[in-house]
Amino acid sequence: QMEGKLRVKKPSLKELYHTATSLSKEFDSFRVRYVEASLNKRALELAKTAMTIHDGISSERTSTAETPTSPDEEGETTNNAGDNSHHNTPSASPTPDAASYDPNSISPEKTYVLRFDGGSRGNPGLAGAGMVLYDAEDGSELWSGYQYLGTRKTNNEAEYSGLVTGLQCALSLGVERIVVQGDSQLILRQIDGVYKVKS
């Protein structure tokens, strides 16, 4: 790492990296910024919610807001809003957490902040990701979601999944200018090109 290179042994991490960098190029403006974990609590709590709900501890959902859908691991498209039927199946669609998303609140001229986080119990183990979209001007939360990732993901895979899913959702909501913030210096430096990913 001292030379700005990071050897990645797990192919899934390299794939997530390439997906994230590809998505970053779809924005008119894309920047990354490290934030302390204390400023990223909301995304972390959402990641923990994903793990807790799918671990069978809780089955409450707080929202029925619409969210973008994408194929899950079996190729099916799912939208988990208000649907408790996928407790033990990883989902490629985040479960929305903010009940009052207004599609008219996104303006192409404005800059938005995406905060993401992920975690794994066991590393690898039960994993989840959380993502939150904020208005950069007033700091208001516009959208948030969490995603259950399965039982054999590492912490880095969970972090990258939160980033990728957050970027996909931001694009589908019409965001064109984004600042990505997270508390994983490793992932942010990889996405920013400071660390090169090698296999």
Residue 199 has pLDDT above 90, yes or no: no
Q: Which of 190, 55, 33, 12 is nearest to 113 (CA)?
A: 33
3-state SS assignment for residue 6: strand
Residue 195 has pLDDT above 80, yes or no: yes
pLDDT bin (cut points 50, 70, 90) of residue 148 is very high
pLDDT in tens, 103-130: 778 999 999 999 999 999 999 999 999 9
pLDDT, mean of residues 70-80:
30
CB 176 within 8 A of CB 107: no
Residue 17 has pLDDT above 80, yes or no: yes
- Give me the pLDDT at residue 91, please: 59
Residue 18 has pLDDT above 80, yes or no: yes
Residue 132 has pLDDT above 60, yes or no: yes
- Give me the pLDDT at residue 69, please: 35
Task: State whether the Cα torsion 74-79-81-84 is positive or negative.
Answer: negative
Residue 66 has pLDDT above 90, yes or no: no
pLDDT bin (cut points 50, 70, 90) of residue 67 is very low
Alpha-carbon distance of 46 to 96, in angstroms, equals 10
Share of the chain above pLDDT 90, in %: 62
The separation between CA 6 and the C-alpha centre of its own chain, rounded to angstroms, equals: 22
Alpha-carbon distance of 102 to 175, in angstroms, equals 13
Q: Identity (one letter) of the amino acid at 83?
A: D
pLDDT bin (cut points 50, 70, 90) of residue 7 is low
Residue whose token pair is 């303006």: 107
* Residue 173 token pair: 């909501």
Between 28 and 196, residue with greater pLDDT: 28
* Residue 144 token pair: 């948030």
Q: Identity (one letter) of the amino acid at 130?
A: G
pLDDT, mean of residues 11-33:
95
How far is residue 195 from each of residues 8, 118, 182, measured CA to CA in Å?
11, 20, 16
